[in-house]
Amino acid sequence: MEYRRFRLLAVVAAALAVLAAPAVARADAVTDWSLNAQNAILSTGPTAHASVLSFAMVQGAVYDAVNGIDGGYRPYLAKPASASPGDSKAAAAATAAYRVLVALVPAQEPTLTNLWNASLAAAVLADGATAVDDGKVVGEEAAANMLLARENDGRGSSFTFVFGTTPGVWRLGPQQLPNPLGGFFPPGQPVDPTPWVGNVTPFLVPDVEMLRTDGPNPLGSAAYAEDFNEVKSLGSLTSATRTPDQTMAAIFWQAQPGALYGNVMRTLSGSQGLDIAENARLFAMVFLSAADASIGCWNDKYYWNFWRPIDAIRLADTDGNPATEADPGWLPLFDPSIVTSPRLVSPGFPDHPSGHSCISSAIVNTLQDFFGTDKLQVSFSSPRFPGQPRSFDRFSRVLKEIIDARVWGGIHFRTADVQGAVLGKKVAHWELKHYFQPAG
């Protein structure tokens, strides 16, 4: 509690300082290697729900390396035995990130090695050769601890899909059906390439079952009909009720959360004057919570195995609900006919809960916990709208728009978004209570 009061006072002081002088961008080995990790991990085009697991491994190792030297907080896994106060934190951070990344993305090793050597050369100038050598040892140990802890954790494990044909059950939708001439309807959308995420051992929570959601609304309920009719109207490709800004927002947020939030955190690091140890803790807290939110979300998706709006709306005459009406030709805003790169489509995995809501909620709640406030100015940039950021004066308003945006895109029922946000919040609050406590 004392720490949170201190952080709140620090945030207020930083905000007042911003009014008095222009913000100065800051960078250190942690923020530099968060960007290096982002580029390396996303270079292979992984799914968003799988990529956050890699981010968590990198940032968890960096935190244990830097914090092992700094000593201010409890370790995530273990304090490296070799760590001493005089070791170079920059060398430790760079080495921990480098070793984990090379193990995760071996094809990027030549590029990563050049970046690592450059980081070490800069650290020698700042900290001295001996401190850098010692910091490298700390980083190696932290990386080895992480890689050992995540061996045989379920990543890449086999998975059997269960496709349904009865009302309410997920099935291959119109945007996944095989093309009679071969392949998929252009541009094609494969079924979930990383469904195993839900079977991975969590990073924080003791049991993924504790993150189970309440589940979708019963097909015959008034709540289901309300969700159904909302997405049918607002999420339609030809919607007359969705505004142009809502259309933009829906498409804007269909991007990798690792990049969306990584860029924002590096900006916050500069505006809030975080030092290297604070940065290590921030990035670890955010991505470890995001990883467990992703694991919990994907476990929940295949537990409920609920159909997507495109199937629900086209087959509404089978759902037994008199308040829903079928539209056999209905298409969501996220349709391949919208020219974007990559193309938009209903994702090839179940509706409930929303992955973006799960992950974003974990991140937003963690940012609130770290900074001790909801009231910070943040701006997001999306590769879908270069040079057109979306800005918010509260973290909570980011999450609200993301929840809405999944409905506007026509790919989720609102209940899937709201319950996803609850799941992510559970992870963040578990992390706050059980991890990253002050040492001593």
* Model pLDDT for residues 38-58, shown as the tens digit of each residue: 999 999 887 899 999 999 999
Residue 13 domain-assigned (yes or no) = no
Residue 332 domain-assigned (yes or no) = yes
What is the C-alpha separation between 69 and 81, in angstroms, rounded? 10
* 383 in the same domain as 249: yes
Please identify, among 114, 129, 149, the residue that sits at the C-terminal boundary of a domain.
149
Q: Tens digit of pLDDT for each residue in 352-411? A: 999 999 999 999 999 999 999 999 999 999 999 999 999 999 999 999 999 999 999 999
Q: What is the mean pLDDT of residues 79-98?
A: 98
Residue 170 domain-assigned (yes or no) = no
Radius of gyration of the chain (CA): 22
The DSSP call for residue 196 is G
Phi/psi zone of residue 78: left (φ > 0), alpha (ψ -120 to 50 degrees), beta?
beta
Please identify, among 129, 149, 169, the residue that sits at the C-terminal boundary of a domain.
149
Please identify, among 94, 120, 149, the residue that sits at the C-terminal boundary of a domain.
149
Q: Give me the CATH number covering residue 347.
A: 1.10.606.20
Q: Provide the residue range defining the domain that includes 85.
A: 21-149
SS3 state at 236: strand
* 276 in the same domain as 377: yes
SS3 state at 298: helix
β-bridge pairing 378-380 and 390-392: antiparallel
* 222 in the same domain as 126: no
* 135 in the same domain as 275: no
* 284 in the same domain as 210: yes
Residue 7 domain-assigned (yes or no) = no
What is the model's pLDDT at position 4? 40
- How many structural domains comprise the chain? 2
Residue 180 domain-assigned (yes or no) = no
pTM above 0.75, yes or no: yes
* 263 in the same domain as 134: no
* 207 in the same domain as 124: no
Q: Tens digit of pLDDT for each residue in 137-187? A: 999 999 999 999 999 999 999 999 999 999 999 998 776 554 443 433 344
CA 286 to chain CA centroid, Å, is 8
* 130 in the same domain as 225: no
> Is residue 42 within 8 Å of residue 273, measured between CB atoms?
no
> Is residue 77 within 8 Å of residue 145, measured between CB atoms?
yes
Residue 175 domain-assigned (yes or no) = no
* 391 in the same domain as 263: yes
**Secondary structure (DSSP) of 63-119:** HHHHHHHH-SB--SS---TT--TTS-HHHHHHHHHHHHHHHH-GGGHHHHHHHHHHH
Residue 230 domain-assigned (yes or no) = yes
Task: Look at the block and give the residue holding tokens 């933009």.
Answer: 248
Residue 8 domain-assigned (yes or no) = no
What is the C-alpha separation between 432 and 4, in angstroms, rounded? 11
